[in-house]
A and B are shown apart, each in its own frame.
Chain A
Amino acid sequence: MNETLTEHILEVEEVVMAFGGLMALINLNFQVKKGMIKAIIGPNGAGKTTLFNVITGTFPPTEGAVRFKRQSIERLKAHEIAKLGISRTFQTVELFTNMSVLENVMVGCHTRTRSSFIASGFRLPQVKRKEAQIRSKAMEVLEFIGLTDRSEESADSLPLGDRKILEIGRALATEPELVCLDEPAAGLNETETQAAADLIKRIKEKGITILLVEHDMKVVMDISDEIMVLNYGEKIAEGIPEEIQNNHKVIEAYLGGEEDYA
């Protein structure tokens, strides 16, 4: 792969995240190239979700820098980072449960809507037009993720597989350039997992960069362009799927020191 031609959309530099005495991330360095799927794997408690929280602004890192399209974002608030073009899903699905499937996606569209409160309060025709625009954009997203026929159902009533897909759809509605997916296949059966993996590939085809945390190794090996392995907050390996599969350190971290296993 030609390094000089590929632009880094995300750069994480010497990031430290400490919760009191607990070091969740230790001097972490890595880059994500534009347009690729990069997976982050590692045993439970390795710091994967913490890393997502740092990137998306849930909390600022203790030390270090995070750059998105060359702009420092490590001190920005979550909503500001979302506006710049990073979106995410959660390990435990976090939908707006009191809203319909369509409304969930419509809220995602909020990020790209420029409307002042005054305008929406007093100029009804304009509000109507905007509402119609958002609605049709949200329907497009639903079509892309294949939930069109459930648009009016309550988000709460969907089966887990569809809720996970809907959460991805809501993330896409913010028109991100980078999507962080936190265990999109967790808890899904084989068919649903396949559907999620296919969706992720189609998102990549749209030119959106994907950062993926996932435990299902079949999915990870199948769709990732690059894999980074974390263990106790440190990067222990990074490379293409084949390299990672044969990396002794990785096997050790996962299987607890059985060197001869592979």
Chain B
Amino acid sequence: MEEFSFANQLFQYLITGLTVGSVYAMVAIGFNIIYNVTEIINLAQGEFVMLGGLIMVFLHAVAGLPLILAFPITVILVTLVGMLLDRLAIRPIRQPSVLTLIIATIAASIIIKGTAMFIWGKDPFDLPAFSGRTPINFLGAVIQPQYFWVIGFLIVTVILLTLFFEKTIIGKAMSACADNPDAASLMGINVKWMILLSFSLSAAIGAVAGITVTPISLMEYDRGAMLAIKGFGAVVLGGLGSFPGAILGGLILGTIESFGAGLISSGYKDAFALIVLLAVLFFRPSGLLGSVEISKIKRF
């Protein structure tokens, strides 16, 4: 091995951090989509990521479907789970308060996790990397090609979502529900459909995150909860409900984690996210890009 300077090492941490951060950002975007339409914090968000990874493992590594087929099928299946979550756990609740619904999502996450354990067992699974595992040397850092896939999919997701919310009438209708659900329904917008759509979108994005990250970090049945906490940390850091905030929060959180693990101790890796979460709640509860007024009005 050639000389491995301190600067190179820092760059390595940065790339790793941005990759992990991209996953957190995708989870955070999923949180925000549902939150913006319903004010629910969907604590089953991490389970979508877990399911994305494990279903992909089954279809691609076990059943042998090619990547190009297994990927969309996995996304569709996880999206269906998201729809079922809305239909079975959220919609049937009578006179829902936001808190009741959040608790329902906790229950759902436990059920999904338990089911996954029955199906896949407790072992972590690997998935072949999309374009091999030959590392690329870039500015002195050793980068797995899969890192680019993760970051790339975050970028694609963000572009597609921006187009959806800015350019399509359904996207606008969804923003309208988030803004003023009563007025929206009097404009002929079916708010229940929009809630279903928000769960579908969040599940699909979670699945993409899970599929792309599994070749790097493996996937097992109980990964969801920690991913949800990290994603939620990113949401709080960026400001609840803000999409740019979710991306920024996710990337910052991933980077802090990576530098913390590299420079201080990898044993405290998960603690860094929680420390950031607490620090934000103490010093700037509205988050980096959230507005103070909004955080006062919102119920959470």
Contacts and interface: CB of A to CB of B under 8 A. Distances in A.
Interface of A: 56, 58, 77-79, 82-83, 87-88, 90, 94-99, 103, 106-111, 113, 115, 117, 120-121, 127-128, 130-131, 134, 170, 174
B55 interface: no
Interface string B172-203: 11011011101111111111000001000000
A117 B189 contact: no
Contacts of B185: 77-79, 82
Given A79-B186, A82-B185, A82-B188, 5 more contacts: A98-B179, A107-B169, A107-B187, A110-B169, A170-B187
A111 B186 CA distance: 9
A110 B173 contact: yes
Closest 10 CB pairs between A and B? A111-B188, A82-B188, A78-B185, A96-B179, A94-B183, A120-B168, A107-B176, A79-B190, A79-B185, A83-B188
B167 interface: yes
A256 B159 CA distance: 63
A82 B172 contact: no
B27 to A, nearest CB: 22
Contacts of A83: 188
A178 to B, nearest CB: 13
B170 interface: yes
Contact of B173 (A88, A107, A127, A170): A107
B164 interface: yes
A78 B186 contact: yes
A103 B172 contact: yes
B186 A88 contact: yes
| Most B C-beta atoms less than 10 A away, residue of A96, A106, A107, A115 | A107
Contacts of A88: 186
Given A94-B182, A98-B175, A117-B197, A111 B169 contact: no
Interface string B143-175: 000000000000000000000100111111101
B199 to A, nearest CB: 13
Given A83-B188, A131-B167, A174-B188, A107 B182 contact: no
A110 B175 contact: no
Given A110-B173, A120-B169, A131-B169, A95 B189 contact: no
29 contacts: A78-B182, A79-B185, A79-B186, A82-B186, A88-B186, A94-B183, A96-B179, A96-B180, A97-B179, A98-B175, A98-B179, A99-B176, A103-B172, A107-B187, A110-B169, A110-B170, A110-B173, A110-B176, A110-B188, A111-B188, A111-B189, A115-B168, A115-B169, A115-B170, A117-B170, A121-B164, A127-B168, A131-B167, A174-B187
